[in-house]
Chain A
Amino acid sequence: MNDVSHIIQFLFSGITTGSIYALIAVSLVIVYKASQLICFAQGEFFVFGALSMITLTSKGLPMPIAFFAAVFISVCIGSLIQQVLIKPIQGSSVGNLIVMTIAISLALRGLALIIWGRESYILNPYTKGEPLFVFGASLQIQVLWIVGITILVLLIIWYFFEKTSLGIAMRACAENPLGASLMGISVQKSALFAWAWGAGIGALAGAVVAPLLFIQYTSGVMPMIKGFIAMSIGGLGSIAGSVMAGFLLGLVESYTIGLISSKFSDTIVFALLMLVLIFRPNGLFSKS
């Protein structure tokens, strides 16, 4: 491998992790905009997505069905949580709401521990095939799946929030709940949809990355923290910003691991986050 192939190799791995971070960041942003809270249970949806897909395929279900079933399971869990646990305490303080999502994440992690135990699992790749070689850098087929599905999902999200009336209604709720409710939009329903979306996208991120990573019941913490970072760099409430920040984060991470130091890559990433927060508190891509 020469220098060029190294650089391209880091690009591939950066885009792969970037896709996952972008998906998780988007799922966080959608929930944040609807409920004004940062959901600490998002990492658990990631784990549930991956592990339930692995279980379903091992039971003999074909890949595509297992994929949609895994996402659907998390959508149900997310909606249920919103209805049963978040809705009743909607009016209480931000801190209370955050701690509630922490409690939920503990309970979900406990549930995952009971269902899947302490072992780590990995899924077979979606399609068999030798890795491709581009300028001497190897590219696994699964990476194409991850990037392809991420782009598709992001397009669907864009279409939903820009073109469908339901999506526009949800955006209105996020902007101004009172105004939206006066226009006859149900804020409660909008929050429910947001949680369903958020949980579904989180699970999808887990399901696409399952063939590349060993996943166990505690694996959700780090992706979630990276999702927080991407979300904050992107400006907290911006879907487009968090997508860009997610990919940027993946790339920065991959190149710092490759070119500077694998030990201190996370230190650098978190230091960058602090700098962005201090000097551009409205997000790296904001105009002001």
Chain B
Amino acid sequence: MKILSRFWWILPIIFIAIYPFTLGGNSPYKSGVLIFVGIYIILAVSLDLLIGYCGQISIGHAAFFAVGAYTSGILTAKYGVHPMFAMLIGMLISTALAWATGRPVLALKEYYLAMATLAFNEIVITLIIGLEGFTGGASGLGDIPPFKIFGFSLVNHIHYYYFVWIIVFFIIAGSLAVVKSSFGRTLIAIHSDEPAARHFGIDSPRYKTRLFMLSSAFASIAGSLYAHYMGFIAPDDFGVISSVNIMVMLYLGGIGTIYGPILGATFMKILPEITYQFQDYELLINGIILIIVLVFMPKGIYGIILKAINRVLRKV
């Protein structure tokens, strides 16, 4: 039992590692489902750093997802840039944008912050739609080549699956390390009482902006991974509705826990795979399931699981 509670995380890693050959049955569709899960885990975890740990509500996370996807898409499809460099340039642009907007926007609180980030998301999307010559406009951008690494093209879905999940694990581990570092503790202090934190000499605008840059860089990576997997991107995938969906994943899973958003993202991406058979009823059923989870699990899925584990441990 002690070993299990210390090394439980090996189990999901084993599952992810053997999935394509067991449950996934070598089918591109089934590994695709988990590729999406991985990409959304990156988005959810990076947003959790911002909302869950630092208390900065953002309804604009998909904007950085879009910046990553479009930078990768445009540079690789139109200018033949190496995907690796394109991804790095996307991260640079995202962090630069976050740095430029961070100070004024993050000075806002709660709803005002939510509205400002929502506006930022819409600005990015309307620019993408408006600059057709460059981005393909509303009809989307196609012909994005598959990812390449060290001259090895990841055309095969299983290769890309492992590539995505390796990055996912690095980002989860990185986020956990950030949260446990002194930087993370500073963020939590800002979350619980910003004026008090400032009295202790914490330059909170600076910390918030840095966190915003980090979280945007992660979202940008997710965007690049998405663009190379899909081969085609359209502005609809990155609108306010997507940002809202990522936020739902956080609260559904349990905010401020890193593990919660992972569960939330998995749940939200697997759910449509199960309910799509209800066709027109899908949307209603998804809504009702969400409502039920929110009413009966105020601490999210992670909270319930934690509670169950504790109960089992006490009995043992």
Does chain B have a CB within 8 A of A111? yes
Which of B120, B126, B298 interacts with A89 by CB under 8 Å? B298
Q: Is the interface of A mostly helix, strand, loop or mixed?
A: helix
How many CB-defined contacts (below 8 Å) exist between A and B? 126
Chain B stretch 44-59: residues in CB contact (< 8 A) with chain A:
51, 57
Interface 0/1 of A252-288, CB less than 8 Å to B: 0000000001011011001101100110010000000
Asked if B115 and A106 make an inter-chain contact with CB atoms under 8 angstroms apart, the answer reads no
- For chain B, what secondary structure do more than half of its interface residues adopt (helix, strand, loop), or is it mixed? helix
The interface size bin for chain B is 35 or more
- Which chain A residue lies CB-closest to B290? A103
Interface residue stretch chosen among A51-59, A92-100, A124-132, A143-151? A92-100
A74 at the interface (CB under 8 A from B): no
Q: Out of B111, B130, B255, B290, which one reaches A106, CB within 8 Å? A: B290
Query: Would you call B251 and A95 a contact (CB within 8 A)?
Result: yes
Q: Judge whether B105 and A264 touch: CB under 8 Å.
A: no
**Is residue B288 within 8 Å, beta carbon to beta carbon, of the partner chain?**
yes
Most buried by A among B51, B105, B283, B290: B283
Asked if B295 is at the interface of the complex by the 8 Å CB criterion, the answer is: yes
Residues of A within 8 A of B285 (CB): 110
Kindly state the separation between the CA atoms of A117 and B119 in the bound complex, as whole angstroms: 30
**B244 touching A102 by the CB < 8 A rule?**
yes
Q: Please indicate the chain B residues that have their CB under 8 angstroms from the CB of A63 in the complex.
A: none
Give complex CA distance A107, B119 in Å: 25
A95 to B246, CA, bound (A): 13
- Which residues of B from 23 to 63 have beta carbons under 8 Å from A? 51, 57
Chain B residues within 8 Å of A111, by CB: 284
- Please state if A113 and B284 are interface contacts (CB–CB under 8 Å): yes
Task: Write out the residue numbers on chain B whose beta carbons fall within 8 Å of the beta carbon of A16.
Answer: none
Minimum distance in angstroms from A151 CB to a CB of chain B: 27
- Proximity bits, A106-143, B CB within 8 Å = 1, else 0: 11111101100100000000000000000000000000
Q: Are B110 and A103 in contact (CB under 8 A)?
A: no
Within the complex, the shortest CB–CB distance from A252 to chain B, in Å, comes to 14
| Residues of A with C-beta under 8 A to B247 | 95, 98-99, 102
Q: Does B116 have its Cβ within 8 Å of any Cβ on chain A? A: yes
Contacts of A105 in B (CB 8 A): 287
Q: Assess whether B119 is in contact with A274, with CB atoms less than 8 Å apart.
A: yes
A residues less than 8 Å from B112 (CB atoms): 232, 236, 277, 281
A64-90 interface code vs B (CB 8 A; 1 in, 0 out): 000000000000000000000100110
Q: What's the Cα separation between A192 and B81 when bound, in Å?
A: 58
Q: List 17 extra interface pairs beyond A99-B252, A117-B280, A274-B116, CB under 8 A.
A: A89-B295, A95-B57, A95-B255, A96-B294, A102-B247, A102-B290, A103-B291, A103-B294, A106-B286, A107-B290, A110-B285, A110-B286, A229-B119, A232-B112, A270-B126, A274-B120, A278-B116
Q: Which 8 A-B pairs have the closest CB atoms?
A: A110-B284, A107-B287, A110-B283, A106-B287, A103-B290, A263-B130, A99-B251, A270-B119
Which residues from chain B sit less than 8 Å from chain A, CB to CB?
51, 57, 104-105, 107-108, 110-112, 114-116, 118-120, 122-123, 126-127, 129-130, 240-241, 244, 247-248, 250-252, 255, 280-288, 290-291, 294-295, 298
